[in-house]
Amino acid sequence: MATHTKLDATPTVAGDRPDTWFELFKQHSYYLQFAVITTLIMGMYLHVTSLFIGRELLLRYVLTPTFDAVLAVPMTYAGIVGWMLWRRVVHPNRWHRFIYGFTIVYFTISIPIHGQTFMTQRTDYILAFPWWYSYFILLVQMGMLAFTWRLRFKASATEPVHPA
């Protein structure tokens, strides 16, 4: 039995749609890509801004405790869910597995660095990093962004991989 959701949409079989919001959430891999990409874009914004205005002005006007605490939310989510979905990610080769692992380790290490702002309400920890760090990490973040954009997931951890 086919149903129409919009007048211009093609018919869909009712059994193909998720029954609950959680099934839809799971079908979209718990929105891991969205969380990773959001976090990376926020981080890239901070590093580019740091290069243009300097770290002192960045700390005063941009990287506020509130901004850093907000950044820590999708970062923490991506770090935790990234580990949970390891077996559902389609890894076509060892390089892919390595880069995915690197990305998740990067997020995991970043959680306490940015999460400490909840307790201290201070963001001057960035002064511990050398001034050139933003140049380096921007290249890394652009690579992780491109990699994450292209991630594919299996429906379940036990499902075999079918080439697209």
Q: What is the mean pLDDT of residues 15-38?
A: 82
**Mean pLDDT of all residues in 8-32:** 70
The mean pLDDT value of the chain amounts to 88
Average pLDDT over residues 149-163: 79
Maximum separation of any 2 CA atoms in the chain, in Å: 63
**Residue range 56-99, pLDDT digits in tens:** 999 999 999 999 999 999 999 999 999 999 999 999 999 999 99
- In the prediction, which pLDDT does 5 show? 46
Give the DSSP H or E segment for 13. strand 12-13
Average of pLDDT values for 101-123? 96
Section 148-163 average pLDDT: 80
pLDDT in tens, 2-15: 444 445 555 555 55
Other beta carbons less than 10 A from residue 152's beta carbon = 14
DSSP 8-state symbol, 85:
T
What pLDDT does 119 receive?
A: 93
| pLDDT-above-90 percentage for the chain | 73
This prediction's pTM: 0.83
- Residue 164, pLDDT > 70, answer no
Burial 3-35 (b: 16+ CB within 10 A, else e): eeeeeeeeeeeeeeeeeeeeeeeeeebbebbeb
Predicted confidence (pLDDT) at residue 120 exceeds the cutoff of 90 = yes
24 against 139, higher pLDDT? 139
CA distances from 14 to 18, 20, 26 (A): 9, 13, 18
